[in-house]
Amino acid sequence: MTSGNLGEWNKKIGDEIVPGDVLVEVETDKATMDFECQEEGFLGKIFVESGTKEVAVGKPIGILVENKDDVDKFADYQLEETSGGDAPPAKAEAKDDKPQEKAKKTEEEPKEVKEEAEKPSKSTEKAASSASKPSGGRVIASPLAKSLAAEKGIDLSAVKGTGPDGRIVKEDVLNYKAPAKSATSSAASSKPSGSSAAAAPAPGASYVDIPLSNVRKVIASRLAESKQQIPHYYLTQEINVDKILKLREVLNSKANGKFKLSVNDFVIKASALALKAVPEVNSSWQGTTIRQFNSADIAVAVATDNGLITPILRSAENAGLSQISLSVKELAGRARINKLQPNEYQGGTFTISNLGMYGISHFTAIINPPHSAILAVGAATDKLVLDSAAEKGFRNSKVMNVTLSCDHRTVDGAVGSQWLTVFKSLLENPLTMLL
């Protein structure tokens, strides 16, 4: 992760902060998380406003001071004016300097700040579409206002600022309406770049452009990389699940509401035990080596409103069915409301994707790098099978198709087949998983 999106600030400038307080929401490449402060003090300055996209990792977003009296000392402090948009000097970082020292430094440097501020940087001039300066002096605008103006092709010199000392803020850009006579020429001359936000569709258009979230960008990047760089091959096996369904019914009847097992819980347990029996599948391609893992950390694909995420059940081979059931439900629940911590969805050694609940009988899944394999699980369906012991010579049975996608760099066809054989045996004889 190199950047993230900033959500809503939960604190305002001057608010008291204690350890554990949630300062702001941050959208990472996989989930939206609460940023909790681990120090106490007062919020002295906000550098990055709510809703800002693509905030670089390591960029200061605010200043925390120890004494409330120091808050006013940072009222006019502008990070971009002292750093030119690059990484800020140490004296502007809240965590590296004591607030009292920072306050003192800002009192000593107003002349320097003023002199630098009089000369807009080249990047600022470019972002403002090389706008000419108004006769009264330079254009004063917040970083977010400059960014929005660059995206929309708005000349900041034509925007009236409503902030302190006529400073142009985000709302001024959003509320700006270009004169009618220049609307056509502006639309013709402004060409959105690949990194710009999606342009508004023309009136009457039969489509809607949806901006990409960080999660969707990562899904697109990683899966495209997987299909382009990993030599996939696929192995499909039909599994009789009659005994699984009967055992599940018996165990659930004895649970007294403490848990409710699903077929997927048995699939996870069987996958973990099969990985221990055939460890070559529990591996990862490292370029010059193949890394083989000692524990089966199963990533379970969960569909959310923001896209697919794979919370991980660590050391699943050591977990009982009830523990697997409860853990997966808890992780999936928090995944759907964007409350997972990074360590709960990063890593893993093997992935399971189950579309059986949607009635899908068979599909193939794309390997989730750096894993060497992913198991695609279909729905249990009825099938007539020959049975000499049955009165009619046949009986109805429940069968389920599973497809193992393997990375041929780490898992040969014979090895993948061995894994599926062990997996099938465990599911068709589920009592062996309880031993």
> In whole angstroms, what is the distance from residue 30 CA to residue 222 CA?
12
Encoded tokens for 95:
């965590």
Active-site entry in 72, 76, 209, 412 = 412
Nearest to 395 by CA among 386, 403, 404: 386
Beta bridge partners of 385: 395
- Listed in sequence order, the residues at least 6 apart from 77 whose beta carbon sits closer than 8 Å to its beta carbon are 45, 63, 92, 106
Nearest to 31 by CA among 315, 341, 352: 341
> Tokens 């569709």 belong to which residue?
201
Burial of 8 (0-12, 13-18, 19+ CB in 10 A): exposed
Amino acid at 227: K
Encoded tokens for 312:
């991980």
Angle between helical axes of 99-108 and 110-117 (0-180°, round to 10) = 60
412 is catalytic: yes
172 is catalytic: no
Helices (H), 39-121: 79-83, 99-108, 110-117
Helices (H), 139-262: 143-152, 170-175, 180-189, 214-229, 242-253
Q: Encode burial over 156-179: b for 16+ CB neighbours within 10 A, e otherwise.
A: bbebebeeeeeebbbebbeebebe
Beta bridge partners of 234: 405
> In whole angstroms, what is the distance from residue 9 CA to residue 17 CA?
13
Beta bridge partners of 4: 55
Q: Read off φ and ψ for residue 24, nearest 5 degrees.
A: -160, 155
Nearest to 141 by CA among 129, 124, 153: 124
- Listed in sequence order, the residues at least 6 apart from 377 whose beta carbon sits closer than 8 Å to its beta carbon are 264, 267, 352, 353, 354, 355, 356, 400, 402
Catalytic residues: 408, 412
